[in-house]
């Protein structure tokens, strides 16, 4: 059964805990320096109330935690215990389910390397718009699935994505669709030595942001 199949939260937690330990390890942040700088800029602060979806152990959250109130959601209960030790208010949850949060309750929602893991990312983005305050910011990132490396893998008869937890693949056009209904959409192609030559072909990741209308 694949990672995104309809299973109980306990089973989902066990699968992601094992995957995170074996594939990434504690404190791992994919494209860390570039993503951390962009996320910190878009989150801003101090004094922001931030919802961090897919926060894991808080490794990336450290970039924008200081001075802000951060609430973190994740399916990996083991990772959440580490995030809690950083001062993050943690919630154990399946993010393919509606968020049990009131409307317009956050200044910023972060979804870093999360949407590709979900069965219905559009549903979560709708929930994000709901819980954002007017003028609030969504900042997120997804792997650039259609980078040259992925295209070459496909031509060789191999899946473009090798991570078994990835259920979705995103190109720049897909990201813009996710940002529909948000103002001032921004896309950044990051991570890769050859990114300056052709961002869409060589970037490993896409960081994006938009604001909820006032």
pLDDT in tens, 193-208: 999 999 999 999 999 9
56 close to 83: Cβ distance less than 8 angstroms: yes
Three-state DSSP state, 66:
coil
What percent helix, strand, coil does the chain show, rounded to 5?
A: 35, 25, 40
This prediction has a pTM of 0.90
Tokens of 149: 């490396």
Q: How far is CA 177 from the centre of its chain?
A: 16
- Return the percentage of the chain with pLDDT > 90, whole number: 75
Across the range 164-183, mean pLDDT stands at: 93
Residue 156 has pLDDT above 80, yes or no: yes
pLDDT classification of 27: cutoffs 50, 70, 90: low
Better pLDDT: 29 or 12: 12
Domains and CATH numbers, the chain: 9-26+33-211 (3.40.50.150)
């Amino acid at each position: 059964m694949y990672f995104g199949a309809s299973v109980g939260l306990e089973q989902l937690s066990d699968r992601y805990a094992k995957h995170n330990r074996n594939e990434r390890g504690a404190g791992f942040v994919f494209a860390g320096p570039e993503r951390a700088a962009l996320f910190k800029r878009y989150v801003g602060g101090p004094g922001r109330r931030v919802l961090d979806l897919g926060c894991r152990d808080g490794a990336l959250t450290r970039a924008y935690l200081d001075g802000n109130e951060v609430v973190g959601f994740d399916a990996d209960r083991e990772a959440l215990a580490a995030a809690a030790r950083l001062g993050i208010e943690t919630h154990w949850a399946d993010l393919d389910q509606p968020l049990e949060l009131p409307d317009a309750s956050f200044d910023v929602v972060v979804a870093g390397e999360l949407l590709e893991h979900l069965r219905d990312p559009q549903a979560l983005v709708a929930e994000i718009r709901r819980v954002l305050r007017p003028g609030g910011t969504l900042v997120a990132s997804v792997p650039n699935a259609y980078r040259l490396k992925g295209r070459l893998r496909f031509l060789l008869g191999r899946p473009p994505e090798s991570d078994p937890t990835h259920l979705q693949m995103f190109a720049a056009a897909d990201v813009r669709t996710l940002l529909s209904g948000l103002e001032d959409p921004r896309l950044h192609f990051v991570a890769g030595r050859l990114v300056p030559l052709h961002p869409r072909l060589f970037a490993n990741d896409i960081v994006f942001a938009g604001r909820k209308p006032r």
